[in-house]
Structure 1
Amino acid sequence: MEYVYAALILNESGEEINEDNVTAVLEAAGVDVEESRVKALVAALEDVDIEEAVETAAAAPAPAAGGSAGGEVEAADDDDEADEEEAADDDDDEEEEDESSGEGLGELFG
C-alpha cells in the first residue's frame, strides 16, 4: 500500500510519477524500497488518469460487511433447495417404477 500512497502523494502535489520520485517519497517515509515494485507501479500507472480513478472509487458504494458473501450464501442455499427438490422428484419417479415393476411380479407369483 505504501507504493500506491506514494503515487497518490505525488499526484496530489502535481509531481510526475516516475521511479525516482516514488523512490524518494518511500525513502522519506522510511520504507525499504524494492526497485521491482517501484518499476511495476510506475508502469501500471503509465496510462491511468489517477484523478478519474479516485473519483470513480469514491463514487462507488462500499459493500456492507458480509454483503456479497451473504448474497452468495443465499444463492447457494437456493441452488441446494433446487437440487433437493430434483432429488425428491427423482426418488418419487424411482418409487413409482419400483411399484409398477413390483405389481407385475406380484401378478406372476400370485
Structure 2
Amino acid sequence: MEYVYAALILNEADEELTEDNITGVLEAAGVDVEESRAKALVAALEDVDIEEAVEEAAAAPAAAPAASGSDDEAAADDGDDDEEADADEAAEAEDAGDDDDEEPSGEGLGDLFG
C-alpha cells in the first residue's frame, strides 16, 4: 500500500512517476524498497490519469437499498420471519456458551499497528 501512497504523493507534488522517484519517497519514509514492486507500479500506472481515478473513487455513489415487494408478498412472508427469528435466537444462544475462545474487547488491537 505504501507504494500506492508514494505514487499519490508524487502525483500531488506534480513530480514524474518514475522508479527512482518512488524509491526516493519510500526510502525517505524508512521503507525497505523492492525494486520489482516499484517497477511494476510504474508500469501499471503508465496510462492511468491518477487525478481522474481519485475523483471517480471519491464520487462513487452508495448502493441503494433493495426495493420491497408488494403488500401481499410482505403479508405472506410474515410467518417466515418469526421462524427465522427463532432460528437466529437459537444460534445466538449456542454461541453464547463459546465465550472461552474470544478475546476480551480491545485486546489484539496492538497487532493492527505493529
Common fold by TM > 0.5 = yes
Where does residue 3 of structure 1 map in the other structure?
Answer: 3
Q: SS at the partner of 2:31? A: coil
Q: Tell me by how many angstroms 1:62 deviates.
A: 5.1
Q: SS at the partner of 2:27? A: helix
Q: List alignment gaps of at least 5 residues for structure 1.
A: 68-110
Where does residue 74 of structure 1 map in the other structure?
Answer: none
Distance 1:39-1:62 versus aligned 2 partners, 3 A rule: farther
Q: Give aligned pairs, total.
A: 65
Q: Which amino acid is 2:43 matched to? A: A
Q: Are 1:28 and 2:28 an aligned pair? A: yes
Q: List alignment gaps of at least 5 residues for structure 2.
A: 66-114
Whole-angstrom distance in 2 between the partners of 1:14 and 1:39: 19
Q: Deviations over 1:60-105 (max 9, x none)?
A: 1356xxx9xxxxxxxxxxxxxxxxxxxxxxxxxxxxxxxxxxxxxx
The two structures have a TM-score, normalised by structure 1, of 0.56
The two structures have a TM-score, normalised by structure 2, of 0.54
Work out which of the two has the higher radius of gyration on C-alpha atoms and give 1 or 2: 1
Q: Are 1:57 and 2:57 an aligned pair? A: yes
Q: Deviations over 1:31-78 (max 9, x none)?
A: 010001000000000000000000000001356xxx9xxxxxxxxxxx
Where does residue 43 of structure 1 map in the other structure?
Answer: 43
Over the matched positions of the two proteins, sequence identity in percent amounts to: 84
Whole-angstrom distance in 2 between the partners of 1:37 and 1:62: 32
Where does residue 13 of structure 2 map in the other structure?
Answer: 13
Structure ranking higher in helix proportion: 1
